Amino acid sequence: MVNTERLADTFSSLVRIDSVSREEHEVSIVLQKILTDLGAEIFIDNAGEKVNGNTGNLVAKFKGTVDAESMMLCGHMDTVEPGKGIEPVLENGVFRSKGDTILGSDDKSALAVIIEVMRVLKEKSLPHGPIEVVFTVCEEAGLLGAKHIDLSLIDSKMGYILDATDTGGIFTRAPFASRFKITFNGKAAHSGASPEKGVSAVVLASKMITALPWGRIDHETTCNVGKIEGGVATNIIPDTAVLLGEVRSHSKAKMEDIIRDIRTASNRVVAEARPSSPDLTLPTVAIHVEEDFPGTNIPDSHPVVVLARAAAKRLNMPMECKTTGGGADANIFFGKGIACGVLGTGMTDVHTVNEHIALSDMVASAQLLLEIIALHTQGNKA
């Protein structure tokens, strides 16, 4: 039922529209026209204002033809850089970009697949329950669109997000994540004439870092310092050092334990430095921690998983429950009470100029969604 040529044309046209994070307005306008023509009621929320972007999340509501629970289908409209002036090339069934840009299959492939699914449902008059198509902004900038979405527009409590590579898997488990900012304050002094009058904030930061394990902590926990800033010149003892980092774990308790250890180590190196400091009020440390996204843990018995597996079985496709160390809009929606499995479209080498995607994988993704919708409509969960 999937129109392969039409799907390819839709994908090609969408990736040609520039839509790096916070600049999704142009592609949103095109999507609104397509979805309106398919019979959707369109809403744009105010997330754009909250993330300093030029448009908000797009919510397209399709009325059901049968009595069934509402289902959400989701992808994100933004891309990463270099994502302007994309020219897609289709050779031997595989899309690549022409030039020094990404392709944009992350996540334009999702938009194209979902549009094709809705077109097939309409032209074949296939029965379906209410469907809410949600295209978010600023996913690549920190899941910001999903974080600021107007939940009053969404009735669904379950759905599927297309934002992965493997078409034979469903991601149902993802970690909790918190970000931290640690600011060490020391005392400036001339490093050649009077270094003893200074307190190096950079040295303090270094001592804290070397006191703790980083990287892969265990099979479900990671910790990273991603950015360090401090000092103004080589002949000045640096009075400030700022560390930015994150902790992720599939166990919230483990994540909180790591954060506690970071706090303890930071306070300890400051306390140990004060007795020899030329100013006994220094050094100091300020620690700020905030949640980046909640974890996702959808049981294998949940309808989201059961439907995907049953649909894949009918199509003679594999379908394995998978765990990821990354975050996606699914994490945010799960925290808001909407269980979303993350499905693949075949996107490969994303965020690089080598990005590519096979048209056959997008077709398979669309077929899977159509089968999921059919089973959901029939109330068949086996």
**d(Cα 307, Cα 375) in Å, to the nearest integer?**
7
HSE-up of 246 (CA within 13 Å, CB side)?
16
Please report how many Cα atoms fall inside a 13 Å half-sphere around the Cα of residue 371, on the Cβ side. 19
161 with 181, same domain: the answer is no
Question: Could you tell me if 72 and 146 are in contact, meaning their C-beta atoms sit under 8 angstroms apart?
Answer: no
> Is residue 125 domain-shared with residue 36, that is, in the same domain?
yes
Structural domain of 140: 4-174+295-378
CATH code at position 182:
3.30.70.360
Q: What CATH number does residue 89 fall under?
A: 3.40.630.10
Given the residues 23, 24, 45, 78, the one annotated as active site: 78
Residues 112 and 22 in one domain: yes
Residue at which a domain ends, from 271, 292, 313: 292
Give the integer Cα–Cα distance in Å for 96 and 86. 10
Q: Do 34 and 57 fall within a single domain?
A: yes
Which regions in the chain score pLDDT beneath 70?
380-382
Query: Is 78 annotated as catalytic?
Result: yes
Task: Give the helix, strand, coil percentages of the chain, each rounded to 5.
Answer: 35, 30, 35
My answer on whether 165 and 196 are in the same domain is: no
pTM value? 0.93
Q: How many structural domains are present in the chain?
A: 2
> Is residue 158 domain-shared with residue 70, that is, in the same domain?
yes
Q: Which of 245, 271, 292 is the last residue of a domain?
A: 292
In contact, 178 and 291? CB cutoff 8 Å: yes
pLDDT, residue 381, reads: 43
Q: What's the pLDDT tens digit per position in 303-333?
A: 999 999 999 999 999 999 999 999 999 999 9
User: At residue 204, what is the residue type?
Assistant: L
| Residues 88, 213: Cα–Cα separation, whole Å | 43
Domain boundary among 268, 292, 316: 292
pLDDT value, residue 382: 41
214 with 300, same domain: the answer is no
Tokens (6 digits) for 183: 């600011």
Given this model, what pLDDT does residue 379 score? 81
Q: What is the pLDDT of residues 216-243, one digit of tens each?
A: 999 999 999 999 999 999 999 999 999 9
At 240, the amino acid letter reads: T
Q: Within this chain, do residues 284 and 368 fall inside the same structural domain, yes or no?
A: no
Q: Does residue 187 sit in the same domain as residue 65?
A: no
Same domain, 97 and 245: no
Tell me what pLDDT residue 380 has: 53
Is it true that the peptide bond before 349 is cis, omega within 30 degrees of 0?
Answer: no
**Could you tell me what percent of the chain has a pLDDT over 90?**
98
For residues 63 and 162, state if they share a domain: yes
CB atoms near residue 57 (< 10 Å): 31
Taking the CA atoms of residue 81, residue 366, residue 293 and residue 77 in that order, the dihedral angle to the nearest 10 degrees is 40
In the set 23, 45, 116, 139, the catalytic residue is 139
| Active site annotation includes 139 | yes
Tell me the CA distances in angstroms from 264 to 55, 230, 289, one per residue in order. 42, 21, 13
CB 31 within 8 A of CB 135: yes
Q: Which residues have a Cβ under 8 Å from the Cβ of 254 and sit 6 or more positions away?
A: 217, 218, 220, 221
Bond preceding residue 82 cis, omega within 30 of 0: yes
Same domain (yes/no): 151, 185: no
